[in-house]
Amino acid sequence: MSLVTLIIIHRQHIFVMQSHYRVIEDLIDQGPEQLRIVRSKGTLEKDAGYIIYDANESLIINGQHAFPVVKQGFTIIHAL
């Protein structure tokens, strides 16, 4: 299973998590207010790419090809 790394910038916090692309897709749809803190194992595994979600600037940087990133009201930059 390929994991996608999600980096969320929200208010004064930065959250980093890895999960299946469907979980990441749901989190992007719901917004950072719905984020449940997931404890990290301390290391990140080799993954299928990354997404940086900046809720402060309404900006998403997409560096993965697992799923198309769509979020109304956000600027989306494709890094690949």
pLDDT digits (tens, 9 = 90+) for 44-79: 666 789 999 999 999 999 999 899 999 999 999 998
| Mean of pLDDT values over 13-26 | 85
Give the type of residue at 28.
I
User: What is the pTM (predicted TM-score) of this model?
Assistant: 0.72
3-state secondary structure of 21: helix
What pLDDT does residue 24 have?
Answer: 86
> What is the DSSP-derived secondary structure letter of residue 33?
G
Residue whose entry in the numeric block shows the structure tokens 């790419």: 49
Where do the domains of the chain lie? 4-78
